[in-house]
């Protein structure tokens, strides 16, 4: 359907399309269905868009208990902007098969769930995160306890939650619930975080997405809200090898394999 803006027509009308180009009216033939040619890169991108959307959906869904709907409206698009190019780069166009490296997803590290309250603004010193074989180590620096968490005025404590979401991309599986470890930090005593270390056991062949969430409290009252809910993905790496056998984790089918 063509539209008239008072000066120009835009949109399709019958066999032609009206467009504006450099302030002038342009009319061109409307392409017939099936006649549009795609470049190789366009084909590759179109093939990964839906798969990227699936990963984004599962990241948001698995972390929903911590996000609490306090993400900003741009989260989906920001995740898609990062993940779709990753899938495109890791997919062979000739075979349409994926080949992921340890650091293929590393650019996700630092992505905030709520751009209105970036985690780095409230967590002054990020932990040192390292993957050592099948152990993910998260260690906070020593001697910086008073500068780690920026407390909001009304709060007297803060829950710091480490949430580890695992994906078995080749099998099309993800953890039903992320692995979580939480520490309660008092506003007037942050020594609990001084040189504190957390360790997660991770199977071979899994993509590890570690996120940190901060929840502020005035005693038992949660103070987070849509404009203030610091949380971010802090680590994104693939454990080398292939997942084999069974483990004690509960896995959920994603409906799509990335092999």
Which pLDDT score, from 0 to 100, does residue 12 have? Answer: 66
Q: Which pLDDT tens digit goes with each residue over 35-58?
A: 445 455 545 445 799 999 999 999
User: If you ran DSSP here, which 8-state letter would residue 149 be given?
Assistant: B
Contact 50, 91 (CB under 8 A): no
Q: What is the pLDDT of residues 67-114, one digit of tens each?
A: 999 998 999 999 999 999 999 999 998 898 999 999 999 999 999 999
The pTM score is: 0.82
Residue ranges of domains in the chain: 1-36, 40-253
Q: What is the pLDDT of residue 35?
A: 47
- Asked if 72 and 100 count as a contact pair (C-beta separation under 8 A), the reply is no
pLDDT of residue 254: 96
The pLDDT of residue 38:
46
Nearest to 118 by CA among 84, 89, 75, 155: 75
Nearest-angstrom CA–CA distance, 163 and 181: 7
- What local confidence, expressed as pLDDT, does residue 145 receive? 56
Cα(56)–Cα(77) distance, integer angstroms = 9
CB under 8 A, 24+ apart: contacts of 223-228: 223/152, 223/154, 223/155, 224/68, 224/70, 225/70, 226/69, 226/70, 226/72, 226/114, 226/116, 227/116, 227/117, 228/114, 228/116, 228/117, 228/152
Question: Cβ distance 206 to 168 under 8 Å?
Answer: yes
> Which pLDDT does position 36 carry in this prediction?
43
Angle at 10 between CA 8 and CA 12, to 5 degrees: 140
Residue 47's pLDDT is what?
73
Distance CA 14, CA 44 (A): 31
- The pLDDT of residue 110 is 96
The pLDDT, as a whole number, for residue 86 is 97
Q: How far is CA 191 from CA 141, 213, 215, in A?
A: 11, 19, 18
Stretches where the chain sits below pLDDT 50 are 22, 35-36, 38, 42, 44-45
């Amino acid at each position: 359907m063509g539209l008239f803006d008072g000066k120009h027509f835009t949109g399709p009308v019958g066999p032609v399309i009206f467009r504006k180009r450099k302030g002038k009216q342009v009319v061109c033939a409307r392409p017939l269905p099936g006649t549009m040619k795609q470049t190789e890169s366009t084909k590759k991108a179109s093939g990964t868009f839906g798969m990227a959307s699936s990963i984004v959906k599962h990241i948001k869904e698995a972390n929903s208990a911590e996000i609490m709907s306090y993400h900003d409206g741009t989260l989906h698009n920001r995740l898609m902007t990062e993940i779709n190019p990753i899938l495109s780069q890791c997919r062979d166009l000739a075979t349409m098969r994926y080949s992921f490296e340890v650091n293929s997803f590393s650019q996700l590290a630092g992505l905030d769930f709520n751009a209105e309250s970036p985690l780095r603004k409230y967590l002054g010193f990020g932990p040192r995160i390292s993957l050592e074989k099948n152990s993910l180590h998260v260690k906070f620096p020593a001697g910086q306890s008073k500068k780690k968490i920026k407390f909001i005025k009304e709060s007297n404590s803060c829950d710091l939650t480490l949430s580890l979401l695992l994906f078995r991309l080749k099998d099309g599986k993800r953890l039903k619930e992320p692995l979580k470890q939480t520490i309660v930090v008092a506003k007037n005593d942050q020594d609990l975080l001084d040189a504190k270390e957390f360790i997660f056991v991770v199977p071979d062949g899994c993509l590890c997405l570690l996120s940190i969430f901060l929840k502020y409290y005035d005693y038992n009252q949660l103070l987070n809200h849509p404009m203030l809910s610091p949380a971010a993905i802090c680590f994104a790496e693939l454990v080398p090898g292939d997942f084999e056998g069974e483990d004690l984790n509960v896995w959920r089918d994603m409906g799509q394999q990335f092999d």
